[in-house]
Structure 1
Amino acid sequence: MAVYTQVSAEALGTFLARYDQGVLVSAKGIAEGVQNSNYLVETTADRFILTLYEEWTSTDDLPFFLAMLDHLAAAGNPVPRALPDRDGLAIQQLAGRSACLIEFLTGVSVSHPTPAQARAAGAAMGQLHAGLADFAPTRANPLGADTWRPLLERCGAGIDTIAPGLFARIEAALARVLAQWPRDLPVAAIHTDLFPDNVLMLGDRVTGVIDFYFACTDIRAYDLAVMHSAWAFDATGERYDPAIGAALIAGYESRFALSEAERAALPILAQGACLRFLLTRAWDWVNTPADALVTRKDPLAYWRRLEAYLKDDLFA
């Protein structure tokens, strides 16, 4: 989440008048994340999240995202649905952007998860995958393995401003990973971005899974590998917690079983996950406008994770 597009109180009040959701009381921009503009909106009726979709999110993809959320909610998953206005429309226009008013879910994102919280989060992903087993719509992954080399080339020498020689090191790692990338594992609709800040919790209980705007159709086990890389390391990527890693896998398999082939592929899938986030963070680091209300994330935290996965089998 982030704020690139500013919305005036007057414009937001007019927007809310399309709904039966009360009158505007307050709105506050949310700085976390890098993709869309988000506001926490409070009305006389309730709290909501207002999302304005920036250039990373094609409006053509919004029906896929919203259908996925509706499908998961109908299966009992704690996900936020986009609310329709009085005319039944969920996708609106505001400040020159497509926009949705989204349910607010209670809970907080944990910065330092315990094994019990990691197990619950892994189970939530397993439940998501079970709920999506009969979800028919598809969307190609715009940040899938085939896009990583072109993204590295677009970043170019700018990557070396992050760390000297980083471009060459990434290029070598990318060649190794792509040569081993699995092409015969089950594919399905997946989240692809289930970081701790996209899971809401009360104690050890998951109360919400949010931010589905990278969701797509790709290798299902890749989703778990992304989550492992995000949860099982500290924020700097310097310290791996094996108890967290094991709890995530155990929680996931309590709701959705891994095949032998999927389990065997987790190390290379995790290396790919590290490259994906290293590259997109590097791109954002070099290209984020200086005046954007957004927290840039350290690309090197994912280089350190990648080195850890290359050194040891962290799924053994």
Structure 2
Amino acid sequence: MPTASPEPETGTPLVEILADAYGLAVVRLARLDGQATVNYRATTADDRVVFVKHYQPGADLAAEEEAVAQTDRAGRHGVPVAAVLPSTSGEAITRRAGTALSVWRWMPGHTVENGFTLAQQAAAGTMLGRIHVAFADHPASSRPSARADHFRTPDLAEREATIDHLLSVIGDLAEPDAFDREAAHTLRERRDQLRRLRDLGLPTLHTQVLHGDYSPKNILFDGDTINAVVDFGPAAPFLTAWELGRIAFDPRRVVRDGDWIVAGTTLVAAYRDANPRLPATDLAACARVALTQLLVSLYGVEEHYLRPGLLQDDLDAFWLLRHRAASTILDHLDEAEDALAQIAGTRLYHPWTENGSPVR
């Protein structure tokens, strides 16, 4: 599970709720890393450890309850998960005086942030295949996905206009710094890359309910074994190839590992063995889908110039990492798709010659 902050938090209303609603005599409440929720590791008087999610005001608690149900569904299909611990009255999410929280079994293990080993790649592929098998017959999997339709037809003109605006903002700076110069360079590259993306296209792809955020931060390892998959999302259908390509061709691995194609296809091959029902086209297209996501996103650099975040330095680094990954995948897409074709047994149409020019 996530690493605790050095200073424990005690004496909060959460401690009272944990005692009243769960019968937990908490003696230590240590805050953990989290994004949508404020998370804690709670230790009880009898040395029991649990994971606590504190939902923020305005959170969609119906969606959060659906995410709990998805976690339970995955667990019933053999996926190791951190099970929710219901309150003494049977609630998955407890609401008390404007405070909402859930309690989960504490799972041992650690995340791997700087690139999986090949054995971990294979384990991650196998586990994602099991998750997709578990969710394939969910009633929501047969519903249309407006998000998938939007993904297939991105507004590239709008993205290019945003790039032009950002370049104009940078151009008006009296004293541009090193990041400004690098941002201008990467934005000009991205504008050219979007023009190449126009020629690429995506085939018809499968949609179903997914994990929602199957990424290194939500996979807990013990060595090369996965101890738990955490933070499932609600049951919303989207492109299966998106979730597969996103983890197989994780930007950190692409940028830092010269053998990223081998690593990515190792994961995809393990996934195929665990979920042989996924159409071959989706396997073959997963790198292209991952590339499309990277290319149409300006997250990080857009925030820097239009709406800076509290951790903007991290967002700047995030932009540069993802841009490098997008550039690498784009420049080697034919090689990646040749390798994927060997696994899928089918080859996607590729509109470029070796020098990156469109085929006429």
Asked whether the two chains share a fold, i.e. TM above 0.5, the reply is: yes
The CA distance in 1 between the partners of 2:288 and 2:199, in whole Å, is 10
Residues 260-303 of structure 1 deviation map (CA, whole Å, 9 limit, x = unaligned): 21133223201123246x5444466654336x9x9656221111
1:157 corresponds in structure 2 to 166
Shift in alpha-carbon separation, 1:288–1:306, aligned structure 2, 3 A: same
Rounded Cα–Cα distance in structure 2 between residues aligned with 1:42 and 1:188: 38
Residue 213 to residue 167, structure 1, CA distance change in 2 (3 Å): farther
Mapping 1:230-245, distance limit 5 Å: 230=250, 233=253, 239-245=258-264
Q: Name the CA shift for 1:60/1:227 in 2 (closer, same or farther; >3 Å).
A: same
Partner of 1:40: 41
Partner of 2:84: 82
Distance 1:62 1:49 in 2: 16
Q: Does 1:118 align with 2:132?
A: no
Do residues 288 (structure 1) and 297 (structure 2) align? no
Confirm or deny: 8 A CA contact 1:36 1:54 kept in the other structure: yes
Q: Quick one: distance in 2 between partners of 1:167 and 1:44?
A: 55
Once the two structures are superposed, residues 216-256 of structure 1 have per-residue CA deviations (whole angstroms, 9 ceiling, x without a partner) of 3101121100101227716x557553332122112111201
1-structure distance, mates of 2:292, 2:23 = 43
Which one-letter code corresponds to 1:219 in the other structure? L
Residue matched to 1:311: 331
CA distance in 2, matches of 1:21, 1:165: 57
- The residue aligned with 1:107 is 109
Change (3 A) 1:86 1:215: same
| TM-score, length of structure 1 as denominator length | 0.79
What one-letter code is carried by the residue in structure 1 that aligns with 2:24? Answer: G
Cα deviation, residue 35, structure 1: 3.4
What amino acid maps onto 1:289 in structure 2?
L
Structure 2 match to 1:17? 19
User: What is the rounded CA distance, in whole Å, between the counterparts of 1:9 and 1:272 in structure 2?
Assistant: 48
Give yes or no for contact 1:122–1:248 (8 Å, CA) kept in 2.
yes
* Aligned counterparts of 2:37 and 2:267: Cα–Cα separation in 1: 28
CA contact (8 A) 1:231 1:245 kept: no
Preserved CA contact (<8 Å) 1:232 1:242: no
1:132 aligns with 2:135: yes
Instruction: Indicate conservation of the 8 Å contact 2:210/2:238, yes or no.
Output: yes
Q: Is the 8 A contact 2:19 2:26 kept in 1?
A: no
- Letter of the 2:49 partner, please give it: R
Q: Distance in 2 between matches of 1:163 and 1:25?
A: 48
Q: Percent identity?
A: 21
Distance in 2 of aligned mates of 1:227 and 1:56 = 30
Partner of 1:253: 272
Which region of structure 1 is more displaced relative to structure 2, 62-71 or 299-308? 62-71
Query: For structure 1, which runs of at least 5 residues remain unmatched after alignment?
Result: none
The within-5 A match list for 1:66-81 is 66-81=68-83
Q: 1:214 to 1:256 in 2, by over 3 A?
A: same
**For the Cα contact (< 8 Å) 1:119–1:248, is it kept in 2?**
yes
Q: Alpha carbons of 1:165 and 1:239: their partners in 2 closer, same or farther (altered >3 Å)?
A: same
- Write the deviation string for residues 172-196 of structure 1: whole angstroms up to 9, x where unpaired: 5456547755363111111242222
Bigger CA radius of gyration: 2
Amino acid at match of 1:222: W
| Paired AA for residue 117 in structure 2 | T
Q: In structure 2, how many angstroms separate the alpha carbons of the residues matched to 1:308 and 1:106?
A: 35
Two-structure CA RMSD over aligned residues (Å):
3.9
What SS class does the counterpart of residue 137 from structure 2 fall into?
A: coil
Map 1:204-215 → 2, pairs under 5 A: 204-213=224-233
Answer whether contact 1:52 1:94 (CA < 8 A) is retained: no
Higher relative contact order (CA 8 A, sep 6+): 1
Distance in 1 (CA, whole Å) between partners of 2:161 and 2:85 is 40
**In structure 2, what is the Cα distance between the partners aligned to 1:239 and 1:304?**
13
Question: Given that residues 229 and 273 in structure 1 are in contact (C-alpha distance below 8 angstroms), is that contact kept between their aligned partners in structure 2?
Answer: no
* Matched positions, count: 309
One of 42, 48, 53 as aligned partner of 2:55: 53
Code of the aligned partner of 2:228:
G
What secondary structure does 1:80 align onto?
coil
Matching of residue 298 in structure 1 with residue 301 in structure 2: no
Residues 137-146 or 7-16, more deviating: 137-146
